[in-house]
Amino acid sequence: MLQPSDAWQPSADLATLQLRAAMLRQVRDFFYRRNVLEVDTPLLARFGVTDPHLTNLTTQLSGDSHNWALQTSPEFAMKRLLAAGSGCIYQLGKAFRDDEQSARHNPEFTLLEWYRIGFDLKQLMDELEQLVQLLLVDAPAANYLTYQQAFQRYLQVDPFAVNSHSALQQALQSYASVADVARRETDSDTLQQLAMACVIEPQLDPAIPTFITHYPASQAALACLSNTDSRVAERFELFYGGLELANGYHELTDAMLQQQRFVADQQQRSLLSRPPASADTRLVAALTHGLPACAGVAVGFDRLVMLRCGQQHIRQVLPFAIDRA
């Protein structure tokens, strides 16, 4: 349980805050040079997310019985801007997630998110790598692994095989930290996410940025499925320094498919005993109007600062972590 601190001083030291400010300037200069428009969408909105693995913080306004959601990401609002003709855009600001506090997560954090019209996933990964090399001056060239290759290399399991669930459960018995949970887990996606977070990620070389690509179609979130392999989604994540830094998609533009995924999210939330979450009807309307073909990515800015400063806890790079907020 969170124990609030009575200390009034900042969580981070002054040198870290000065470096943080310099990195914020670098991000804005990076996108200014590329003619990508900075936008500033609402943090408080009528709808949250349906994703069964995310939870919005909520509040109420005086005289209004509706729960308003603090946004876990500016994605939905930014896509409405894209549908309205904004062109390529980025946002650098706060987001909120009601997850367990840890060395990597503060409930209020700074998120960098951008969308590039006409980009495919490789072009977006190239641009992200350029930004990482700008902000983290010693970062080497990135490595690439597909989701399937990562599971085969580190767990000797093919996640797309017919018997993958039982094979993965058996493989995870060798890892004491997850063996009991894995033995009981009936949902294949949850089991794969457990394996990725607790077994595969820790084995990735922390000295080399690594893109994991071609996630299972069942974990597509808001990404398109591959045109050449319906088992996989056009989605990637970037890992570096022992941290997950980014999550990117070749964005789904089909309103009907998006509505179907919202329904599937609700079914999954029910199976996981999570409360229902209202789907964002304005996003569906924007997709119906027409979202241009684009690729987008969200990057944890605070984690980039952690890597630049060599810090092990997110509180060490925030002006005031949650216990001092």
Give the mean model confidence (pLDDT) for residues 236-252.
98
Instruction: Please answer whether residues 107 and 321 qualify as being in contact, where contact means their C-beta atoms are separated by less than 8 angstroms.
Output: no
Task: Give pLDDT, residue 155.
Answer: 96
Which of 70, 114, 82, 71 is closest to 301 using CA atoms? 114
39 within domain boundaries: yes
Q: 93 lies in which domain range?
A: 14-142+208-324
193 within domain boundaries: no
Give the mean model confidence (pLDDT) for residues 243-254.
98
pLDDT, tens digit, 9 for 90 and up, residues 187-233: 899 999 999 999 999 999 999 999 999 999 999 989 999 999 999 99
250 within domain boundaries: yes
Instruction: Please answer whether residues 223 and 233 qualify as being in contact, where contact means their C-beta atoms are separated by less than 8 angstroms.
Output: yes
Q: What sign results for the dihedral spanned by CA atoms 55, 304, 130, 197?
A: negative
154 within domain boundaries: no
- Which secondary-structure segment (H or E) carries 109? strand 108-117
Task: Give pLDDT, residue 272.
Answer: 84
| Maximum CA extent, the chain | 57
Buried b (16+ CB within 10 A) or exposed e, 113-147: bbbbbebebeebbebbbebbeebbeebeebeebbb
Query: Which CATH number fits the domain that encloses residue 21?
Result: 3.30.930.10
Three-state DSSP at 236 gives strand
171 within domain boundaries: no
Task: Give pLDDT, residue 74.
Answer: 98
CB atoms within 10 A of CB 52: 20
Residue where the block lists tokens 């980025």: 90
Is the pLDDT at 3 greater than 80, yes or no? no
How many domains in the chain? 1
- Where does the pLDDT of residue 182 fall: very low under 50, low under 70, confident under 90, or very high at 90 and above? very high
- Where does the pLDDT of residue 123 fall: very low under 50, low under 70, confident under 90, or very high at 90 and above? very high
- Where does the pLDDT of residue 271 fall: very low under 50, low under 70, confident under 90, or very high at 90 and above? confident
Which of 52, 44, 43 is closest to 279 using CA atoms? 52
Task: Give pLDDT, residue 4.
Answer: 79
Give the mean model confidence (pLDDT) for residues 252-268.
94
Q: How far apart are CA 17 and CA 224, in angstroms?
A: 38
Task: Give pLDDT, residue 53.
Answer: 86
Give the mean model confidence (pLDDT) for residues 96-104.
90
pLDDT, tens digit, 9 for 90 and up, residues 71-83: 999 999 999 999 9
Q: Which residue has the higher pLDDT, 49 or 2?
A: 49
222 within domain boundaries: yes
Give the mean model confidence (pLDDT) for residues 93-102.
92
Task: Give pLDDT, residue 161.
Answer: 95
195 within domain boundaries: no
Task: Give pLDDT, residue 1.
Answer: 57
Q: Which amino acid is at 171?
A: A
4 within domain boundaries: no
